[in-house]
Chain A
């Protein structure tokens, strides 16, 4: 009998698990993981084969002529091509000398040389400040001065001092332009070859400034500016605090976007991981793919969120919203609220006006809390639907399940009807129309108990990655969650 390898069945199992995970959690950023970790597959494959051959040798079995067959090599080549292209498309840097793991200040491949940068230029009270594309971090702070001031340092990685010196001269730091429009230029692009230049900048601008920043890789921290802020970057963490104007952010990758206290409209586009917004006075528009945790707190104007699997519109969020993988929790919302999502467990408490909810797969739990009870139209394909209504609520309820149990402890005017595998709970005392529908799952209508609390989205989840680059600039402390609100009785 021909001895066959265990790699092929393992590969099949692996793919099965991946596709299953993808089906259960459509939000899972599988492609991102693949783009990052695909070389591990090669290593695993090799290790498995090697172990197999070791076992065969130890048990004195006949060895194959080649450890990896021709067909397998072809598969491997395909895997490499796909992996490399996904890696490049997803905006990870590649084919480029990296910033390096430093060991006691000395890099494995060359050393880091630091050069100070400092410049100052007087300007008008409300200038437009443009930061040209660069690598490195920038911290921008508004002040009362009428000048743009930059302090910081430039890091050049090179094998020897002379090369670094030349690179330093080739990339002079400059502020150009007149008092109304200034350009901060690092000229990093003039350095070619294997040397890598990055800049750390502390920029002080007049309070009224408008900022337009372009980055390649690196973080932006912007504080106390009353003008507009526009950021585009290939890979950046963005932290904004106390911005007076309009904010526009367009990122190809980011680990975190945090904004606290923005007066104007806020527009975020692209891809990223975590998003945290708090105390926003303007309309908030978020579109793109975000694989991390999204937290929204105290939004005064409408929110429009347009994600890969989720659309969300909320008129106003005096409370908070937290969205993580497979989960949506919100408390204290002003409607109309519209949520359309593929696969999430949805829990919403304390909402008004109207709620329109459509879930493909996931349980729904609603605690309207406030009176009068909002108009609701809830549809889940696979999942339980539960609502707890205050005893004094007025409603016209129609809750149905095509297949599953029904349960109510509300009493009159509700009554239960069973039909086939499913059933319905109906009843009206002349209030807002509440339609709950599930194709498969349990439907529950409860009477809210006197001490029932709203859902408290766990803010500041532990999984949020802390940012090591800016330890001396701690993020503004999030406002503690509002006290739990009791259900009106």
Chain B
């Protein structure tokens, strides 16, 4: 996975995560008020992947 590819899919994946969390807020058991840190986690994972892929290439 190239850094360019990771950079490109970061936005869409964050958007999907946001959509899922808000859907869970509307239909599921927990509010967005509780699940928002998932966004930070996803973002952090991307940053980690970008670092490691930049180092390996």
Contacts and interface: CB of A to CB of B under 8 A. Distances in A.
B37 interface: no
B8 A47 contact: no
B43 to A, nearest CB: 13
B15 A39 contact: no
24 contacts: A39-B18, A39-B22, A39-B25, A39-B26, A43-B16, A45-B15, A46-B13, A46-B14, A49-B11, A49-B12, A50-B12, A53-B9, A53-B12, A63-B4, A63-B7, A65-B7, A66-B7, A67-B9, A95-B25, A97-B31, A98-B30, A98-B31, A108-B29, A109-B29
Nearest to A108: B29
B52 interface: no
A38 B20 CA distance: 11
B7 to A, nearest CB: 6
Interface in A55-82: 57, 63-68, 72-73, 76, 80
B24 to A, nearest CB: 9
For the complex of A and B, the 8 pairs showing the least CB-CB separation, nearest first, are: A42-B19, A68-B11, A67-B11, A43-B19, A46-B15, A46-B16, A39-B22, A49-B12
A107 interface: yes
Contacts of B31: 94-98
A336 interface: no
B29 A50 contact: no
Contact of A63 (B5, B29, B33): B5
Nearest to A39: B22
User: Interface size for chain B: under 10, 10 to 19, 20 to 34, or 35 or more residues?
Assistant: 20 to 34
Given A47-B16, A49-B15, A101 B29 contact: yes
Given A49-B12, A53-B8, A63-B4, A97 B30 contact: yes
Contacts of A76: 15, 18
Interface residues of A, number: 39
Contacts of A68: 11-12, 14-15
Does more than half of chain B's interface fall in helix, strand or loop, or is it mixed? helix
A161 interface: no
Contacts of B14: 46, 68
Interface in B20-42: 20-23, 25-26, 28-34
A68 B29 CA distance: 30
B10 interface: yes
Interface of A: 36, 38-47, 49-50, 53, 57, 63-68, 72-73, 76, 80, 83, 87, 92, 94-101, 107-109
A47 B10 CA distance: 12
A406 to B, nearest CB: 53
Contacts of A66: 7-8, 10-11
A99 B29 CA distance: 6
Contact of A65 (B8, B12, B23): B8
Contacts of B23: 39-40, 43
A104 to B, nearest CB: 14
Nearest to B23: A39
A67 B17 CA distance: 14
Contacts of A92: 26
B23 to A, nearest CB: 4
A95 B20 contact: no
